[in-house]
């Protein structure tokens, strides 16, 4: 299902629900009467899900949305800028058959929260539509997929547009049986890794099981057995992973926190935010390092991990060596829990601990008193993410931020015949 050709896609697309702030939600509603946010994240209130379903029905009735008459893949080129550089990545939109994690066909890498899954489940029940895709990675070690995608993008795109927020977009519809068969065959041998959308995938599994439980017959070909997927190669040059930083309102005194942290880290006071970010990146090449910003002077510290018997006592030993040495793991158990004294209830309370991928915003939040502590991390290498997934382990919640999110509104997947 796609927008009709006369709809301005630049005004109609939006980010996925989990990165839309209340301010951006209002702005997107005002941008266009047909913006996809009206399906993805309708205005607040108990009637949000019913409103999304009513909007979907109305748009189909008047022709704002149209359903494809035949199956196809869609290839998407997403261009964007970050820190002065221009990136471009290739994405394949497809329906993906849902499989439980235990089967090893689709692998997660990160833990999830309960509230977003409940929200997405209510939307699925009301609208019966995948509004935004699960974003997955594949290795393509046999180099079978990329040539087919390149051939698809050699033709003029179906639609091409730019916007002021995320850059350029181009979409190709692929219904040539030679190409669709080649892509299907190539993907049949691939393990897929969830980069972004763990909540959406787990919700889709739950919704499928819910529908199957009340069905009189079940053939495994019902639309609920599939989910909208956006697939990108793990070595795509446009695949950018940002760190997710931690902000905390714990009231542990700074002197007490630093005394604990000194047992695990070399601690160095840093004079400025740019100096801290530069030092964090540099020390991160040698081992685990973190930036700590505090609400009282001296304000900025570089924490460089040193081998310590205390570390073995703080980080759970049940996981693999790779998992135990993840920055996100060390941050959770040595800095937040041990150094800042956060307990289990605080770790799951968004008033006590919250997250942001924007380092400058994190530092500003400390300066203006919105939080008492901020912990800055380095990004996780993509190959390490895949290794964690292959071992069957999961990183702590909010370990990775794939930037930018895959655009919502280019294609939708209806869960009705």
Q: Is the pLDDT of residue 164 over 80?
A: no
Task: Output the pLDDT for position 310.
Answer: 74
| Domain annotation covers residue 70 | yes
Task: Output the pLDDT for position 297.
Answer: 80
Q: Are residues 180 and 127 in the same domain?
A: yes
Question: For the segment 5-14, what is each residue's pLDDT rounded down to a tens digit?
Answer: 999 999 999 9
Q: Are residues 111 and 197 in the same domain?
A: yes
The number of folded domains in the chain is 2
- Average pLDDT rounded to a whole number, residues 279-299: 92
Q: Is the pLDDT of residue 275 over 70?
A: yes
359-367 and 273-284 helices cross at what angle (nearest 10)? 130
Task: Output the pLDDT for position 83.
Answer: 87
Question: For the segment 178-227, what is each residue's pLDDT rounded down to a tens digit?
Answer: 999 999 999 998 999 999 999 999 999 999 999 999 999 999 999 999 99
Q: Are residues 88 and 148 in the same domain?
A: yes
| Domain annotation covers residue 394 | no
Least confident of 40-49, 69-78, 356-365, 399-408: 40-49
- Average pLDDT rounded to a whole number, residues 146-174: 91
| Domain annotation covers residue 386 | no
Torsions phi, psi for 407 (to 5 deg): -60, 140
Q: Are residues 41 and 154 in the same domain?
A: yes
Question: For the segment 16-36, what is each residue's pLDDT rounded down to a tens digit?
Answer: 998 999 999 999 999 999 999
Task: Output the pLDDT for position 296.
Answer: 83
Q: Is the pLDDT of residue 44 over 80?
A: no
Arithmetic mean of pLDDT over the chain = 94
Residue ranges of alpha helices (H) inside 215-298 are 254-261, 273-284
3-state class (DSSP) for residue 150:
helix
Q: Are residues 72 and 221 in the same domain?
A: yes
Confidence at 308, pLDDT banded by 50, 70, 90? low
The pLDDT > 90 percentage for the chain reads: 85
CA distance 304 to 106: 35
Question: For the segment 50-108, what is each residue's pLDDT rounded down to a tens digit?
Answer: 999 999 999 999 999 999 999 999 999 999 999 889 999 999 999 999 999 999 999 99
Residue ranges of alpha helices (H) inside 154-224 are 177-188, 198-214
Question: For the segment 104-158, what is each residue's pLDDT rounded down to a tens digit?
Answer: 999 999 877 777 889 999 999 999 999 999 999 999 999 999 999 999 999 999 9
Q: Are residues 331 and 229 in the same domain?
A: no
- Other beta carbons within 10 Å of 120: 24
Q: Are residues 216 and 264 in the same domain?
A: no
Provide the residue range defining the domain that includes 29: 2-240+404-414
Torsions phi, psi for 343 (to 5 deg): -95, 180
3-state class (DSSP) for residue 110:
strand
Decide which of 51 and 308 is more confident: 51
Q: Are residues 7 and 154 in the same domain?
A: yes
Q: Are residues 270 and 198 in the same domain?
A: no
Q: Which residues, other chains included, contact 333 with Cβ-Cβ below 8 Å and sequence gap of 6+?
A: 314, 315, 316
| Domain annotation covers residue 40 | yes
Q: Is the pLDDT of residue 299 over 70?
A: yes
pTM of the model: 0.91
Decide which of 331 and 45 is more confident: 331
Q: Are residues 185 and 216 in the same domain?
A: yes
Least confident of 88-97, 167-176, 341-350: 341-350
Q: Are residues 235 and 248 in the same domain?
A: no
For residue 277, CA distances in Å to 238, 268, 375, 376, 406 come to 23, 13, 12, 9, 27
Torsions phi, psi for 264 (to 5 deg): -120, -30
Task: Output the pLDDT for position 166.
Answer: 60
Task: Output the pLDDT for position 165.
Answer: 59
Question: For the segment 367-383, what is each residue's pLDDT rounded down to a tens digit?
Answer: 999 999 999 999 999 99
Q: Are residues 79 and 156 in the same domain?
A: yes
């Amino acid at each position: 299902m796609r927008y009709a050709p006369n709809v301005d896609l630049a005004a109609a697309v939006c980010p996925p629900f989990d990165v839309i702030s209340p301010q951006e939600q209002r702005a997107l509603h005002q941008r266009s009467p047909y913006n996809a946010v009206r399906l993805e994240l309708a205005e607040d209130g108990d009637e949000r899900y019913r409103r999304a379903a009513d909007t979907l029905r109305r748009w189909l009735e008047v022709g704002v949305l149209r359903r494809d008459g035949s199956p196809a893949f869609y290839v998407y080129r997403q261009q964007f800028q970050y820190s002065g550089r221009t990136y471009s990545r290739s994405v394949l939109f497809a329906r993906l058959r849902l499989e439980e994690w235990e089967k090893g066909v689709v692998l997660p890498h990160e833990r999830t929260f309960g509230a977003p899954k409940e929200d997405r489940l209510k939307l699925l029940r009301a609208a019966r539509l995948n509004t935004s895709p699960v974003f997955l990675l594949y290795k393509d070690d046999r180099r079978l997929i990329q040539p087919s995608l390149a051939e698809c993008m050699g033709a003029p795109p179906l639609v091409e547009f730019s916007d002021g927020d995320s850059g350029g977009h181009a979409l190709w519809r692929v219904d040539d049986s030679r190409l669709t068969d080649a892509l299907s065959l190539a993907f049949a041998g691939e393990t897929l890794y969830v980069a972004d959308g763990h909540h959406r995938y787990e919700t889709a599994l739950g919704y499928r099981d819910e529908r199957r439980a009340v069905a009189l017959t079940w053939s495994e070909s019902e639309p609920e057995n599939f989910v909208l997927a956006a697939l990108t190669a793990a070595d795509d040059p446009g695949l950018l992973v940002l760190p997710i930083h931690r902000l905390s309102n714990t009231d542990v005194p700074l002197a007490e926190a630093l005394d604990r942290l000194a047992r695990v880290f070399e601690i160095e006071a840093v004079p400025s935010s740019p100096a801290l970010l530069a030092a964090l990146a540099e020390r991160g090449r040698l081992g685990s390092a973190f930036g700590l910003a505090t609400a009282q002077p001296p304000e900025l510290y570089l924490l460089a991990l040193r081998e310590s018997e205390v570390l073995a006592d703080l980080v759970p030993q049940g996981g693999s060596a790779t998992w135990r040495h993840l920055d996100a793991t060390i941050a959770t158990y040595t800095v937040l829990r041990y150094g800042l004294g956060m307990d289990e209830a605080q770790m799951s309370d968004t008033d006590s601990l919250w997250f942001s991928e924007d380092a400058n915003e994190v530092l500003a939040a400390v300066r203006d008193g919105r939080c008492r502590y901020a912990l800055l991390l380095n990004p996780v290498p993509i190959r390490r993410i895949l290794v964690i997934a292959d071992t069957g382990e999961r990183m702590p919640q909010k370990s990775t931020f794939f930037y930018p999110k895959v655009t919502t509104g280019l294609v939708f997947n209806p869960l009705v015949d």
